[in-house]
Amino acid sequence: MSASDKNRRREFLAASATVATVATGLAGVGLVALAPGVQLIQPAAAHDHGASSKVRWGLLVDTTRCASGCKACVSACNAENAIEPGSGRPAQNSQWIRKIELVEQSSGRAVSLPMMCQHCEQPPCVDVCPTGASFRRADGIVLVDRHICIGCRYCMMACPYKARSFVHEPLTRQNPEVPRGKGCVEACTFCVQRIDAGKQPACVEACKQAGHDAMLFGDLKDPASEIAKRIASTATSQVRADLRLGTGVRYQGI
C-alpha cells in the first residue's frame, strides 16, 4: 500500500468518525466512537496543551544574508545543547548544525549556509527506526526518544542531510534541559526546550545578534506568520526537494 493510499484511508477513518460522533452524540474527551467497542483516539483533542498539530514549526534560511565564515549559529547551538568535543577523535564529535560553503564552478558564485536536521514531514529516519525511537512530534519537530534508542544508527544512514550524530563517549556536563548520553543518536531538535518555553531556537537568536538576521523561525501553518508570508511571496527551496520529504527548513537564494 502506498503512502498516499494509507493517508486516504486515515482521512476516511477520521471523516467517518466525525460522522459517527455527530450521529450518536457520544463524543468523549479525546475519544471518538467509530463503531460499538471501536474507538479512535484524536491526538489533537487528547492533548489540550503541549505540541499541537495546528502548528508546523519551520525555519527559513536566507543564504544571501548568511555570512561566509560566520559560525554564530554553530557556537550558539553547541552552548545551548552542551555539545562539546570528545577526547581527541574529531570525526566522532556530535554536530547538530554545520556551516557549508557552496561554490558554483562555472560562475564562481559562493553561497554560505547552515545545514541541520530538516524536520521532514515524511522523515526517512522515522521510517527506518526499528524501535520507534525516532519520531515526529505533532508540531513537526523530529526527535529521538533516547529512552528507547538502541544506538543502531540506521537513521544516520537513512538521513539524506547527514543531520544525525552518535554519542560515542560518556557525558557529564549536560544542560539540565537537554538530556544527552552515550549510545544514542541525536540531532537538531529546533531547541525544543526553548520552543516549549515560547522562545526561538538558539541559532536563530544568535544569527540575529550577530547582525545577519539570516534565519527566520515560525509557524508554517499560520498564514499570518512572518515565515509563511515570506515563503508565499519569495522563491524558496527545499534541499533535495526531489526526495519529496517536505522539509520544515527552507532556503532562499540557492
Partner 1 sequence: MKRLRCLPIAMLSLVASLAFAEVPKPVIAIENPGECVAAPDVMRRTHMDMLKHQRDKTLRFGEHGAKEGKSVSLRGCIECHASKKTGSVLGSSENFCQGCHSFVAVKLDCFECHQPRTGLVKSAGVMP
Residues near partner 1 (CB under 8 A)? 47, 49-51, 79-82, 84, 135, 137-139, 143, 145-147, 170-177, 179-184, 192, 196
For the record, the C-alpha cell of 163 comes out as 543531520
Amino acid in position 226: E
For the record, the C-alpha cell of 117 comes out as 536536521
- The DSSP code for 71 is -
Whichever of 164 and 252 has its CB closer to partner 1, that residue is: 164
Q: Least Å distance between CB 35 and partner 1?
A: 27
Owner of C-alpha cell 452524540? 25
Q: Least Å distance between CB 116 and partner 1?
A: 18
For the record, the C-alpha cell of 66 comes out as 548568511
Q: Least Å distance between CB 75 and partner 1?
A: 11
Q: Least Å distance between CB 143 and partner 1?
A: 7
Backbone angles phi, psi at 252, to 5 degrees: -120, 130
Distances (CA, A) of 192 to 164, 206, 221: 16, 16, 18
Whichever of 77 and 215 has its CB closer to partner 1, that residue is: 77
Distances (CA, A) of 7 to 76, 161, 191: 38, 25, 29
Q: How far is CA 186 from the centre of its chain?
A: 12
Q: Least Å distance between CB 144 and partner 1?
A: 9
